[in-house]
């Protein structure tokens, strides 16, 4: 069965629920959105709880962290960045087809935009905004402001891409606008995720203790399972592969260059 959201809520709503099971503090959700304040308070509550647990553990003479640790939050988020990279390659293939005068499959564009809107912008970025950015804001204030602005710009571009894909792709105006939106999205998100991978996620590792990183990793996994069910990543990648197949970019070996000899 292909990956589909298994709940009516988005990742932003799921990310807002505290680990204690108590209602999140802050403004109520509106539709499929939850307030930015609610997300921030939920993330802060988790870290505060993790810090108290670690302090109690150390006072009792215990080890600060279980040796059997789950993947770190940065590793989880970087895997999700890998999903986004593959979708960016799909967007680039669409832009190239448009530039060459071909009509790309509308279904591939729509499906890619749906995955980005739901999983990347709704869930992945919800985790970053609720749990990661508040921990590193003091260290990288300007960068965090830029990343938040780009998250907002990305959501607007995704909506524009989805709208254009539903229109007549034979229209020169639609094709021009769609190519522009895709180019803007690719041009922003390729460096965006590179900066997160090389600056934000390493800063998180140094900003909080290992116990907190372990708690965050478990929280991220619980939220993903609650939102999308078991084997979410495998189902998601199956859907990404479907996009790639529609665009003819599903064969990795096809981009392997021939061996180059220098004379």
CATH number of the domain encompassing residue 128: 1.20.120
Q: Would residue 136 count as lying in a domain?
A: yes
Residue-wise pLDDT for 86-143, tens only, equals 999 999 999 999 999 999 999 999 999 999 999 999 999 999 999 999 999 999 999 9
Range of the domain at 174: 11-17+34-248
Helix pair angle (210-228, 232-247), 10° resolution: 70
d(CA 136, CA 204): 6
d(CA 37, CA 130): 9
Residue-wise pLDDT for 141-190, tens only, equals 999 999 999 999 999 999 999 999 999 999 999 999 999 999 999 999 99
Q: Whole-number mean pLDDT of the chain? A: 81
Q: Would residue 175 count as lying in a domain?
A: yes
d(CA 59, CA 66): 16
Contacts of 148 (CB under 8 A, 6+ apart): 129, 133
d(CA 213, CA 260): 45
Q: Would residue 98 count as lying in a domain?
A: yes
* Dihedral class, residue 71 (left if φ above 0, else alpha if ψ from -120 to 50, else beta): beta
What is the count of structural domains for the chain?
1
pTM, two decimal places: 0.76
Q: Would residue 227 count as lying in a domain?
A: yes
Q: For residue 13, is pLDDT > 70?
A: no
């Amino acid at each position: 069965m292909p990956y589909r959201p298994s709940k009516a809520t988005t990742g932003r709503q799921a990310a807002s629920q505290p680990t204690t099971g108590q209602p999140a503090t802050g403004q109520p959700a509106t539709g499929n959105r939850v307030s930015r304040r609610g997300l921030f308070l939920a993330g802060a509550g988790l870290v505060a709880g993790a810090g108290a647990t670690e302090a109690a553990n150390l006072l009792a003479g215990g080890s600060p962290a279980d040796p059997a640790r789950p993947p770190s939050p940065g590793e989880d988020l970087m895997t999700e960045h890998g999903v986004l990279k593959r979708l960016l390659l799909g967007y680039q293939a669409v832009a190239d087809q448009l530039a060459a005068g071909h009509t790309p499959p509308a279904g591939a564009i729509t499906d890619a935009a749906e995955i980005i809107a739901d999983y990347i912008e709704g869930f992945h970025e919800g985790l970053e905004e609720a749990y990661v950015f508040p921990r590193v804001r003091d260290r990288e204030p300007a960068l965090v402001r830029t990343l938040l602005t780009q998250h907002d710009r990305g959501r607007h571009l995704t909506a524009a891409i989805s709208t254009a894909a539903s229109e007549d792709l034979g229209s020169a105006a639609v094709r021009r606008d769609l190519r522009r939106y895709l180019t803007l999205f690719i041009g922003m998100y390729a460096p965006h995720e590179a900066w997160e991978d090389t600056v934000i996620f390493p800063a998180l590792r140094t900003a909080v203790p290992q116990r907190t990183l372990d708690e965050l990793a478990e929280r991220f996994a619980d939220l993903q399972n609650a939102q999308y069910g078991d084997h979410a990543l495998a189902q998601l990648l199956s859907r990404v592969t479907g996009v790639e197949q529609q665009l003819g970019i599903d064969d990795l070996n096809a981009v392997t260059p021939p061996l180059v000899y220098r004379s």
